[in-house]
Amino acid sequence: MIIVMRVGASETQIESVISTLNDHGFDVHRSSGSERTVLGAVGVRPEFDPRHLQLLDGVSNVHRVSEPYKFASRSWKTEPTQAKVGDVMIGGEEIIVMAGPCSVESEEQIHDCAKHVAAAGARILRGGAFKPRSSPYAFQGLGERALIMMRDAADANGLAVVSEIMEPSQADLMIKHVDMLQIGARNMQNYSLLRAAGRTGLPVFLKRGLSATIQEWLMSAEYILAEDNPNVVLCERGIRTFETYTRNTLDLSAVPVIKAKSHLPIVVDPSHGTGIRNKVLPMARAGVAAGADGLMIEVHPNPEEALSDGPQSLHFYQFDELMVQIRQIATAIGRSIN
Ligand code: PEP
Ligand code: MN
């Protein structure tokens, strides 16, 4: 931390700040210029709240120079992490496409989806069994029945499975059926859920919260990593801004920012990121071009009849077109897609 003292701060005030820092275990380096004194506090104290210093007499401002997260940071691990999901590696040279319906609705729907997306090159089947709906009256998911149907459909087509966990009490059930646990945007800061998901040992797909900064998102990843679970995959799914044309604003700049700050893989979800079917393809292309390690795409055999997120779900023919186009972009940037 850097503590900048006010112009004219007294020696007593400076001494008092130094002794507070020492009390908290920091080594202090003092630099006194003609006008101001600046203190450099050295030491790793992730639990220390810099606001304590801001309140002391004579302090002008306080800057944190190190990140508040450790295991998620590039400085702690320089090599990119590759997360193993079933037989699939996320974070390597291959860009991984995970696709499927928003919600698992029936045997026929999930089997049709799995067959189609696998043939087009997807590697992971997505589908909700427990749905975090904005309205309590909207379809809430088929629960365990959905997980069983999805596992069958994925196995029949050589796909891995990702599905959302909404509560710690669902962990035992989820472990039986899925290869990766999804933490939804609305639960990104549900710390007991993050811990429970981390403890399962399964890879965790962590969506960015609706209004979360990148730092808050990485702090949530830190909760999972701190449970000794290294397999965290981040997902940019759009954030809340003043724009209303799209459902969310897909923050693609998060991709290179995450790559600089963290070793964790990052996936882009242009379906929730835009909320509009005909905006998904261009933003999928952009996501790959930005350097994403994967895409999550909602697809439905009959989107007009979907029980959730129909307007943002692709028809099969649109998904095929998307795969053709993103393969060309992947090649152009030295990566590949199944
Ligand atoms: C989903 O993937 O269907 C979902 C609910 O996503 P999010 O948490 O990003 O809204
Ligand atoms: Mn959805």
Mutate to test the pocket of ligand 1, among 237, 300, 307, 309 (most ligand atoms within 8 A of CB): 237
30: left (phi over 0), alpha (psi -120 to 50) or beta: beta
The residue whose C-alpha atom lies closest to atom 3 belonging to ligand 1 is 102
Alpha-carbon distances of 306 from 46, 299, 323, rounded to whole Å: 46, 10, 22
Ligand 1 neighbours by CB, cut-off 6 Å: 102, 128, 132, 184-186, 207, 237, 272
pLDDT of the chain, 338 residues: tens digit per residue: 999 999 999 999 999 999 999 999 999 999 999 899 999 999 878 788 989 899 999 999 999 888 889 999 999 999 999 999 999 999 999 999 999 999 999 999 999 999 999 999 999 999 999 999 999 999 999 999 999 999 999 999 999 999 999 999 999 999 999 999 999 999 999 999 999 999 999 999 999 999 999 999 999 999 999 999 999 999 999 999 999 999 999 999 999 999 999 999 999 999 999 999 999 999 999 999 999 999 999 999 999 999 999 999 999 999 999 999 999 999 999 999 99
Distance (Å) from CA 332 to ligand 2 centroid: 30
Distance (Å) from CA 181 to ligand 1 centroid: 12
Q: Looking at ligand 1, which atom is closest to the CA of residue 208?
A: 9
The alpha-carbon radius of gyration of the chain (Å, integer) is: 23
DSSP 185-213: GGGTT-HHHHHHHHHH-S-EEEEPPTT--
Mutate to test the pocket of ligand 1, among 135, 165, 180, 182 (most ligand atoms within 8 A of CB): 182
Strand ranges (E), the chain: 2-5, 27-32, 37-42, 59-63, 83-85, 88-90, 96-100, 124-126, 160-164, 180-183, 204-207, 232-236, 266-268, 294-298
Distance (Å) from CA 271 to ligand 2 centroid: 8
**Which residue intervals of 30-162 are DSSP H helices?**
51-54, 107-120, 144-156
The residue whose C-alpha atom lies closest to atom 4 belonging to ligand 1 is 184
The residue whose C-alpha atom lies closest to atom 8 belonging to ligand 1 is 184
Ligand number nearest to the C-alpha of 183: 1
Q: Looking at ligand 1, which atom is closest to the CA of residue 102?
A: 3
pLDDT score at 3: 96
* pTM of the complete model: 0.93
The residue whose C-alpha atom lies closest to atom 6 belonging to ligand 1 is 184
Distance (Å) from CA 259 to ligand 1 centroid: 22
| Look-up of token digits 């007991």 | 192
Distance (Å) from CA 285 to ligand 2 centroid: 20
Mutate to test the pocket of ligand 1, among 98, 102, 190 (most ligand atoms within 8 A of CB): 102
Distance (Å) from CA 19 to ligand 1 centroid: 48
